[in-house]
Amino acid sequence: MSKKTVAQLVVETLQKAGTKHCYGIVGDTLNYVTEAIHKSDIKWIHVRHEEVGAFAAGAEAYLTGTLTACAGSCGPGSLHFINGLFESHRNGAPVVLIASQLATSSLNTDFPQEVDFKAVYSSCSVFCEQISNPLEAQRITALAAQTAINKKGVAVIILPVDISQIKVDDNPAIHTYHPSPVITPSDEELQSISQLLAKGKKIGIYAGLGCQNAHDELIAIAKKLKAPIAHTSRAKDFVEYDNPYNVGMTGMLGIESGFHMVKNCDTLLLLGADFAWSQFYPDNATIIQIDKEASHLGRRHPITLGALGDIKATLNKLLPLLSEKEDVSFLDHHTQMHTKTIAKLDKKAQRTPSGQIHPQYLVELLDQYASEDAAFTADGGSAMVWILRHIKANGKRRTLTSLKHGTMANAMPQALGIQKAFPNRQVISLSGDGGLTMLLGDLLTAVQEKLPVKIVVLNNSSLNFVELEQKVEGLVNNYTDLQNPDLAKLAEVIGFYGKKVTHSDDLESAVKEFLDQKGPALLDVHTSPYELVMPPQIETGQVLGMAMYTVKATLAGRTEDVTGLLIDNFVKK
């Protein structure tokens, strides 16, 4: 029987599990792994910072649903992946990290660069094991792959360098399995659900990520119940399009119509949604929750009935049990409110006489001129709000931002991963100036890997969302200013097409020219520094906090900031 190194067996097992790409930076303890990857069909993507590699791998895995890898050297090398892997752990992307380790003889001796990766990564993974016995390499790797795929999360394989180079028998491959059972509630539970829905006079549907692949069934049940549909931000791509019942999102990133519908319904059908903020649920409604994860039932807000089931299959079984409603007043009220809400949001999505650029106008132009199947990423903060509110879903486009982990600097790295997975697809990153400059070096990865990503920078010379949070608390914003270089010129030096826009009259032509570029491109757009992200419902505390900010800022000599904020958000309409 032929022999292979442990590194070869690990790589071959991951390849058989569907891995196509591995993101990372080479290093001494990883050398046998990278040698094995070089001989395999897995493509190595050389990033400049491991955090970027983790974000990119996670984005590829999230959009493709296939296992994607990243790999790093011992100590700081593999440690750098952690923030990007937390993102995948929380959004359910199947990613495997090969964390190479010092030789086993050096472990537990406080040797330079020694890091206990199991202690570090156990909190952000569904599998985390060290290969200590070379004969167990295939089994541990197969279990890691299978767990990441089926539990939709991060698997970490810790591989000491001395173990990686040992040769062992090349036994038959251990297969990974991905069963797809279809689960529905019992007949008794379905009857109970239909009875509760029959009693409802103002029924609303709140659709979450679990509604992916259930679009037609969702529309059918809304039609039968005459129920408006609100959706979570993560469900936008699958619920919003071709949907006459859509009333948008609720929550802090949501809009007025979605907020009021959920708060005012007397019966809420919660479908595949694990929305965390309990204050946005209705106070006195009958709540029916259906989810494929039993642990999600009732964990965010008290519910009347909880049932375990795949949304598509469950709705197909539930539909014949429902009588069609006739009263459309609740539905019409909130769909009309949705139309008015969208019109109100679009007021700033236009040129201004002063030339000032509102971010809403920028994103509406991206929406207008981007390709039909474009993929959009957005940094945490105000960028994600504009993407969610102003990029229209059409059943082909995808949006991705850090909604559960809430990190900065995710958009550009995620765009790299999506572009690598879909080389012929238009991929657009909406990056904040703070987020982009945090991991700026990996613009070089786009050039080196020949990835034609399109990077749009919201350049307001501040950590804008943090500034907003401070103002709402009644605080004068401190330490949020950013002194940026000419990002367009910087991009050109790196090898990008680069263009800077400072006047709204120039923006439309610049967006079209930017999107037409064949290679990587960066559009540096200087947007209004005073733009507020308006929540769907303005609370008294927020008004008082903003009033306190204006008083404090004026007393501190920041009259220009106060005037700009008031004119930009409350005078010009």
Q: Could you please report the per-residue DSSP string of 284-347?
A: S-EEEEEES-GGGTTSSS--SEEEE--HHHHHHHHGGGPPPP---HHHHHHHHHHHHHHHHHGG
CB 421 within 8 A of CB 435: no
Rounded Cα distance, 469 and 42, in Å: 44
Rounded Cα distance, 482 and 460, in Å: 8
Percent of the chain with pLDDT over 70: 91
Please report where in the chains the tokens 């005037």 appear, as a residue: 563
Rounded Cα distance, 170 and 178, in Å: 24
Rounded Cα distance, 501 and 239, in Å: 34
Residue 223 confidence (pLDDT): 98
Residue 226 confidence (pLDDT): 98
Rounded Cα distance, 140 and 432, in Å: 40
Rounded Cα distance, 123 and 362, in Å: 39
HEC string of 214-281 equals: CHHHHHHHHHHHCCCEEECHHHHHHHCCCCCCEEEECCCCCCHHHHHHHHHCCEEEEECCCCCCHHHC
Question: Between 562 and 45, where is the model more confident?
Answer: 45
CB 229 within 8 A of CB 218: yes
Confidence of residue 396 (pLDDT cuts 50, 70, 90): very high
Rounded Cα distance, 270 and 300, in Å: 11
Which sign, positive or negative, has the C-alpha torsion 466, 468, 470, 473?
negative
pLDDT tens, residue by residue, 475-521: 777 788 889 999 999 999 999 999 999 999 999 999 999 999 999 99
pLDDT tens, residue by residue, 325-339: 999 999 999 999 999
Please say if the pLDDT value at position 171 is more than 90: no
Confidence of residue 569 (pLDDT cuts 50, 70, 90): low
pTM exceeds 0.85, yes or no: yes
Rounded Cα distance, 67 and 78, in Å: 18
The pair phi, psi for residue 564, each rounded to 5°, is: -60, -40
HEC string of 148-170 equals: HHHHCCEEEEEEEHHHHCCEEEC
What domains can you pick out in the chain, each with its CATH number? Answer: 3-169 (3.40.50.970), 187-338 (3.40.50.1220), 350-570 (3.40.50.970)
